[in-house]
Amino acid sequence: MNKNSRILITGGSGLVGQNLTNKLVEQGYTNIRVHLHKRQPRIKHDTVEYVSGNLMAYEDCLAVTKDVDVVVHAAASTSNAVDTVQDPLAHVTPNVAMNNFLIDSAYRNKVSKYIFISSNTVYPPKGDDPVMESDFLFAEPYPVYFPVGWMKRYAEVQCELYAKYLPNPMTTVVIRPANLYGPHDKYDFAKCHVTPATIRKVADKMNPIPVWGDGSELRDLLYIEDFVEALQIVMEKETAKFEVYNIGSNRVYSVLEVLEAMKRIANFNAPTEFIKGKPSMIPTRKIDSFKIYDNLGWQATTKLEDGLANAYEWYLDHKDEFNG
């Protein structure tokens, strides 16, 4: 692969898609195709081909993957904790269709490498121990994530199928990210996850600052710039025909640690209000990301407070989008 290779990025207006597009343009890639669904990206590059189409329609998937060397499938129908609890199938069905059609279209169009952005929801409970790539199927996912966990597991098994068990197999790489945050994230409370929600609560100077549960839940948090750097390395370097990588920071932080860091960044010291009865997700999720360091030499470098400060400044510059 070189910087003239044709790259398709799905989910082009999302957290991963927008930041990856920006990164590759900055790095001199000249043949990028970005698929957009409903939203337009905040930054459009003259050198990028922007296309639309319904990824739940096979013919559209065939069209968007034509003459492509590498696919980075970052598009997904997503939901927050409330939606996951109230309507467990809210985004399972559309994602199954999209994943089915896109990977088969890539294979039919002889794509060289297919990178699927999966989720750490595929993993079962492991207590205080970090989950490794090999922990994929030793038990069921957390009950609250059962539908989405199995949806992602099914898509991952498809990646293995197309890489190992079909004629003229296609190289596929499954990426299981930690909890990502940063510029171009969702900051509307109806859709966002806990870290962007915390950033917004502090930036909007909510007083008191509401926290679901007791704030002790632990997550591996990864700044988006670190994540897209890892993706670029996965794209460029030779990998096994089928490969799986966790991509995280190898550190965990509680909701309260993130909140206290945000208070320092914003110089805002409002009291915390703990709200019982709101959906609470996995108490602890530690992710072992040493495999990608051992194989490809990548590791996260952004400190939590630096990443949060960047995300905070970005939100302040764009807050009108989320307050309309």
> What residue ranges do the domains of the chain occupy?
7-322
Checking if the pLDDT of 88 tops 80, the result is: no
Q: How many helices (H) and strands (E) does the chain have?
A: 10, 13
Helix axes 255-266, 194-203, angle to 10 degrees: 30
- Residue 137: pLDDT band with limits 50, 70, 90: confident
Instruction: State the CB neighbour count (10 A cutoff) for residue 200.
Output: 23
Give kind and range of the element (H or E) at residue 86.
Answer: helix 81-86
Count Cα neighbours of 58 within 13 Å in the Cβ-side half-sphere.
6
3-state helix, strand, coil in the chain (%, to 5): 40, 20, 40
Arithmetic mean of pLDDT over the chain: 93
Question: Any idea how long the chain is?
Answer: 324
Cα(286)–Cα(26) distance, rounded to whole angstroms? 32
Residues of the chain with pLDDT > 90: what percent? 78
Q: What is the CATH number of domain 7-322?
A: 3.40.50.720
- Mean pLDDT, range 231-257, rounded to an integer: 97
Over residues 50-75, the pLDDT tens digits come to: 999 999 999 999 999 999 999 999 99
**Are 127 and 284 a contacting pair, CB within 8 Å?**
yes
What amino acid occupies position 281? M
- The strand ranges marked E within the chain are 7-10, 32-35, 48-51, 70-73, 113-117, 171-177, 179-181, 209-212, 218-223, 242-247, 252-254, 272-275, 284-285
pTM of the model: 0.94
Contact yes or no for 17/9 (Cβ under 8 A): yes
How far is Cα 251 from Cα 243, in angstroms, rounded to an integer?
Answer: 23
